[in-house]
Amino acid sequence: MDPAARKDLYPHVEPFDTGRLRVSDVHTIYYEQSGNPGGHPVVFLHGGPGAGTSPGNRRFFDPEFYRIVLFDQRGAGKSTPHACLEQNTTWDLVADIEKLRQHLDIPEWQVFGGSWGSTLALAYSQTHPDKRSLALF
C-alpha cells in the first residue's frame, strides 16, 4: 500500500456515557457512547468471542460525525458474569444488540463488525433489516 494513501485513525475520545444493561436473568452487558451525541449512530461489534472492546475501537469513527456505541458482548470485557457461556448463543447476542438499540432510543444505526463481530453484524442485519442503515464487515 502506498504510504501516502494510508489514513490514520481518528483521535482518541472519552465516552460521554457508560452504562450496564441487564439482558437476561444471567447476563448484564457493559456499553459506552462517545463522539457526537446528536451524530449518526454506529454500533461496533467486537471480535472474539470473549475479547471485549477497547478504547482504540472508538478511533475507527469520526467523533464529530458519529454517535459511537461500543458494548461488550455476553461473557466478554466488562460485561458480567465474565466468561460465562450459559445463555450465550449467537441469537442471544443478536437480541442483546436490539435491546441496546431500544434502550438507547436509536431508531436505526450503522452496524460495523470485525472478525467474529462481522458474523454477528450479518446475523443482526438479517434479523433486523429495518433497524440498520448499513452493515460493514
Which domains are seen in the chain, by residue range?
13-136 (3.40.50.1820)
* Separation between Cα atoms, residue 112 and residue 85, nearest integer Å: 24
Q: Find residue 43's DSSP bridge partners.
A: 69, 111
The three cell numbers of residue 88 are: 450465550
Coil, strand or helix at 131: helix
Task: Tell me the mean pLDDT per 10 residues along the chain, length 137.
Answer: 68 98 99 99 92 96 98 98 96 98 98 94 94 73
What is the structure's pLDDT at 7?
A: 72
What is the structure's pLDDT at 2?
A: 56
What number of CA atoms fall less than 13 Å from residue 85's CA on the CB side?
Answer: 1
Which whole-number Å values give the CA distances from 86 to 8, 24, 80, 91, in the listed order?
A: 39, 10, 12, 13
* Separation between Cα atoms, residue 64 and residue 70, nearest integer Å: 16
| φ and ψ of 34, to 5 deg | -145, 180
